[in-house]
Amino acid sequence: MFKNLVTLVTGGAAGLGRATAERFVKKGSQVVICDLPTSNGAEVAKNLGENAFYVPADVTSEEQIQNLVDEISKKHGKLNVLVNCAGLCNAYVTYNFKTGKPRTLEDFQRVLMTNVLGTLNVTRLAAGLIARNEPDENDLRGVVINTCGTEAFNAVSGQVASAAAAGAIHSFTVPLAHDLGERGIRVVSIAPGMFRTELIDQLPTETEEAITSECILAPNRLGHPDEFAHVVQSIVTNPYINATTIEISAGLSLSMNP
């Protein structure tokens, strides 16, 4: 199955996106990695071999993403799977009462622009290429998989921007599935908990230990990025998963406040 697929992964140079690109290349899919020009996307694609192709682009840019879609069309002639992993997160309180200063508006804007508008920008521009595919035995032409985060359901102090972005992506999953469903394109979101990525590696050791021991039910550890990629694979191979958000967090509950 995967040998016939062309997969686009945004944020594919690192973290969950990179793990997804790696898994899909191993399965035989042609994989297009999209990440910022400042990323190591070219090196990642080179290491993955001839089935990986890197196109630098900012997901918030209409011109750059249209160029990305054009490049995919030119090189592969089709697109079957879109996995939106590009995103930012921050942990800033809205107002610091100790300093008497609010958080800058730009801090909120960056997260919302990249996570929400970036996801919609790539999806709306890639949908036309996916829609050109011949329908399969289920009358389906492809699938869009978005990443929101468990902040959509379970956020704490400092996660206002991340929660707003995650909640938006979760909320538009069903209407987006209705928008694209008439052409046989499924839409599914994944809400990952805390995974071993470059961002999490910046946490102090004691903070990580407190989270894994007190806030994660079982297994008491951070998620492996390939476990996220495995969920992506399951969504692609199961045609009956549509218009829903799947949480993968091992029962994470930050409300425990370790």
**Residue boundaries of the structural domains of the chain:** 2-252
Q: Considering the entire predicted model, what is its pTM?
A: 0.95
Fold of 2-252: Rossmann fold (3.40.50)
| Concatenated DSSP letters of the chain | -GGG-EEEEETTTSHHHHHHHHHHHHTT-EEEEEE-TTSSHHHHHHHH-TTEEEEE--TT-HHHHHHHHHHHHHHHS---EEEE---------SEETTTTEEPPHHHHHHHHIIIIIHHHHHHHHHHHHHHTSPP-TTS--EEEEEE--GGGTS--TT-HHHHHHHHHHHHTHHHHHHHHHTTTEEEEEEEE--BSSTTGGGS-HHHHHHHHHHT--SS-SPBPHHHHHHHHHHHHH-TT--SEEEEESSS--GGG--
Interatomic CA distance for residues 153 and 88, integer angstroms:
18
Interatomic CA distance for residues 119 and 198, integer angstroms:
21
* CA-closest candidate to residue 186, choices 117, 118, 112, 245: 245
pLDDT by 10s per residue, the chain, length 258: 999 999 999 999 999 999 999 999 999 999 999 999 999 999 999 999 999 999 999 999 999 999 999 999 999 999 999 999 999 988 889 999 999 999 999 999 999 999 999 999 999 999 999 999 999 999 999 999 999 999 999 989 889 999 999 999 999 999 999 999 999 999 999 999 999 988 777 667 777 788 888 899 999 999 999 999 999 999 999 999 999 999 999 999 986 443
